[in-house]
Homo-oligomer: A and B are copies of this chain.
Amino acid sequence: MKTVAIAGATGAVGAQMLECLKERKIPVNIKLLASARSKGKIIDGLVVEELKEDSFDGVDYVLGACENDVTKKWMPWAQKAGCVVVDNSSAFRLEDDVPLVVPEINAQDIQNNQGIIANPNCSTIIALVACDALKKEFGIKRMVVTTMQAVSGAGVKGIHDLETQIIDPNAPREAFPYQIAFNLIPQIGDFDDLGISKEEWKMQNEGRKIWHDPDLLVNCTCVRVPVLRSHSESITLECEKEVDVEKAREVLKSALGVQLKDDPQNKVYPMPLDTTNQDDVFVGRIRKDITDPEGKTLSLFCCGDQIRKGAATNAVQILEKLLEQN
């Protein structure tokens, strides 16, 4: 039986990776690794070990759920031990020899890995799963996206901020620079000189790689919202061909990882509370953009659990593909 280590097992994503491995009954030995601070903690009957240079001896696969700096530190140790790493950080996503994979879209890229496969950013995964069938059908050239991202995208500290501020707006802040309860913060990540945040760049940069489409254009505005879990995205798609709402619904109905929730007259549309703790991305509010005289533009709204499909589930699905290959 293969051995899988979760690096960063005590964080929100790491804990979800463990849950996904168990839920999907993946037949592997599991090793939990985290910082010295968490050493000895017991999660689901497993003792957390300190992540050290020799932690990866005897490990076949690593699911990485650490911040970039920590990931860069242990990656050489995992490489030296011959592990194949599925990494959720953004540290290696855009490197040429690292496949960036959403299994529903480009599972075939996994086989080109040199020991690291990167998990895309949460908002990117959710948007691309929602739009992949539409890209195949209509050919997406440009996306205008506003993301509304849950506090748990900032980890357990983000959840803490919202939960404490609901009671006391002046409670000490751990994750966000401003109060997030009853507020919106139009910043996720640092800004560059163009006024675009790191998070806002990811969908274009990562989307081009996943879809093998170097010409993809994405204008993205990322906003933090007082939702505990599940990101939502308002997306307008400029396509090569004329779009058709019925056709869009039809291809989404059979799209992998998608649940069509699109009957607005009967109040059926995606909401982040409904996708919480779900692996599928919900897509709805599909409509032809009446402001495009050529009829090539489609608008939609989608939601997805960014800790599951936006992180842990996607990584575990990649692991499943790796296990199938061997």
Contacts and interface: CB of A to CB of B under 8 A. Distances in A.
Nearest to A169: B273
Interface residues of A, number: 55
A17 interface: no
Given A144-B291, A191-B265, A219-B291, 20 more contacts: A162-B182, A166-B166, A177-B267, A182-B273, A184-B271, A184-B303, A185-B271, A186-B285, A187-B264, A187-B269, A194-B287, A194-B288, A194-B290, A195-B286, A196-B287, A196-B290, A219-B290, A219-B297, A221-B299, A225-B225
Contacts of A301: 186, 221, 223
A218 interface: yes
A245 interface: yes
A103 interface: no
Interface in A264-292: 264-265, 267, 269-273, 284-291
Interface in A291-321: 291, 297, 299, 301, 303
A193 to B, nearest CB: 8
Interface stretch (A26-34, A117-125, A227-235): A227-235
A286 to B, nearest CB: 7
Interface in A42-56: none
Given A265-B191, A267-B187, A232 B221 contact: no
Contacts of A223: 148, 232, 234, 301
Interface in A226-280: 226-228, 232, 234, 236, 245, 262, 264-265, 267, 269-273
